[in-house]
Amino acid sequence: TEPVLDSKNIPIVLRTPGVIRLRNLFKEKPAIIVSAGPSIEKNLHLLKEAKGKAIIIAVDVVVPTLLPAGIMPDFIVALEASRKLFHAFENNPLLRFCPLVCTPEVDYETITSLYPGPVFLNPTFQHPVLKWFHNFWESKGFIAGRGGSVSHMAFAFAEYIGANVIALMGQDLCFREKLHAGNVTPLFYSETDV
């Protein structure tokens, strides 16, 4: 099925800069994709050591685990359309320095009210409305995320910004007893969902 584009988001989508502004910005630099698997808890010290040496690209749901540990990602990637997602960003003034890369499926009304930092749009699908509006905006670029998860999108983003080595952390997202690192799971899922 075709992804939904809320008509209230159209003016914001038109004004939001695209990922094309980030293309090859970090050419030949290493990057680390940080997902929210439980193993990230025991590897946070490695991320602290990597800060400034590699571009840290965090998936949306790992942010509430990284910030209290003193780790500010260089980018956050969001793919989900759920409003629950942005509870992770609410009241986090530190994020005003961290760009968010997201798709038109994300709830843009929520982004503009809750996310304090810069936002870059990745128009990942060819929605008929976006095709029609394409003539009215600057080229936004396009990152083809292979696979369906935010981790896939983060990896494709690392390639897009020119990373020459890409490391993966926190990819162990298959344990029923603990889906995510930290205490973020209840933020997104009820007990009946798990």
In tens, the pLDDT along 50-69 reads 999 999 999 988 888 898 89
Whole-structure pTM value: 0.84
Residue 71 burial (CB count, 10 A): 20
Q: Which residue has the tokens 């292979």?
A: 146
Q: Which long-range contacts (CB under 8 A, 24 or more apart) does 122-129 make?
A: 122/18, 122/19, 122/153, 122/157, 123/13, 123/18, 124/153, 125/2, 125/3, 127/2, 127/3, 127/5, 129/5, 129/7, 129/10
Pairwise CA distance, residues 51 & 75, whole Å? 12
What's residue 1's pLDDT?
Answer: 45
